[in-house]
Amino acid sequence: MDTLAGSAEQFVDHLVDFVCAMTQPFGQDSLKGLGIGVPGIISAAGEILESPNLRFLDRFNLQKTLAERMNMPVRIVNDVNAIAWGEALHGAGRDLQSILVVALGTGVGGGLVLDRRLWLGADGVAGEIGHVPVEPNGRACNCGARGCLEQYASATGIVKSIVERRKAGTPGSLDTVAAENLTTHEIAAAARAGDNQARAAFAEAGERLGQVVAGAVNLLNPDGVVITGGVSASFDLMEGAVRKELEDRCFERSLNKLQLRCGELGDKAGILGAALLSSND
């Protein structure tokens, strides 16, 4: 389904067609509700306040519109909140009470499950850990601020770290690859092959991530932190730096029970979480 262009109305038409086609073999009655994870800032009422990759949905109440069209309960949540709920119930957090889920992808997203409840905040927008500042005058962020974690620990942030190191004159095995063609997959492969520039970029990402996670651990005393998203496949290259920050910055008591884990459900976490949230209340 092409979701990247068009209007909100066209998007809803596509979505309804898609859902009907998918459920058709099972009969319309087989569908009890719809849960959808959307990247962006989503209000508690299911309004998409802002979705940087789906701009035509800004200020659109997808939840209300889709519920009316489908005549069934619909729940629209932030995509990482859906992932967090999936991992909490059936993935890496299923034996834990309170977890922080951090999704490292193109950006950095977060979700909080506290006492087995998804914590959405006063208006649905809690958990935006990617926009916790780590450098007061650091790299400009898409949110309008500077120095957000996302600018250092996401896939794009790690690429920026390589580009900065190049400009500073640090040689690396990826120097022949144009900046716009660099991927974290390649950078991770270079790091594993012993490239110091690539290793340093991942270590920096881990250090910044560790600082923010340490702050969250001191604030919330969760029993788990779950790292997920595409970049988490290379979490081993960051883990040492993350653990060092946790040890340096957290109270010993907070770390005693803390489990630092990678997500278990991959892409299925968000699908499962959104579906479970749709039947939650």
Which span sits near Zn ion by CB under 5 A: 3-11, 63-71, 95-103, 126-134? 126-134
Round to whole Å and give the CA distance between 128 and 139: 17
If the CB atoms of residues 129 and 242 are measured against Zn ion, the closer one turns out to be 129
In sequence order, the β-bridge partners of residue 75 are: 35
261 lines the binding site for Zn ion (CB under 5 A): no
131 lines the binding site for Zn ion (CB under 5 A): yes
Residue 181 near residue 187, CB atoms below 8 Å: no
Q: What ranges make up the beta strands (E) of the chain?
A: 34-38, 41-42, 47-50, 60-61, 74-78, 99-104, 108-114, 117-118, 224-228, 259-262
Instruction: Report, in Å, the least distance between residue 132 CB and Zn ion.
Output: 9
Residue type, 166: R
Instruction: Report, in Å, the least distance between residue 156 CB and Zn ion.
Output: 12
Closest CA to 45 of 69, 67, 64: 64
Cα–Cα distance list, 86 to 99, 183, 277 (Å): 12, 28, 9
Instruction: Report, in Å, the least distance between residue 144 CB and Zn ion.
Output: 7
Which span sits near Zn ion by CB under 5 A: 43-51, 56-64, 79-87, 131-139? 131-139
Instruction: Report, in Å, the least distance between residue 50 CB and Zn ion.
Output: 12
Which span sits near Zn ion by CB under 5 A: 123-131, 170-178, 202-210, 265-273? 123-131
# residues near Zn ion by CB under 5 A:
5
Pull the structure tokens for residue 89.
């119930």
Q: Which of 31, 72, 143, 255 binds Zn ion (CB under 5 A)?
A: 143
What DSSP line would sit under 157-190, residue for residue? HHHHHHHHHHHTT---TTTTS-GGG--HHHHHHH
153 lines the binding site for Zn ion (CB under 5 A): no
148 lines the binding site for Zn ion (CB under 5 A): yes
118 lines the binding site for Zn ion (CB under 5 A): no
102 lines the binding site for Zn ion (CB under 5 A): no
If the CB atoms of residues 65 and 156 are measured against Zn ion, the closer one turns out to be 156
Residue 78 near residue 60, CB atoms below 8 Å: no
If the CB atoms of residues 72 and 145 are measured against Zn ion, the closer one turns out to be 145
Residues in touch with Zn ion (CB under 5 A): 131, 141, 143, 145, 148
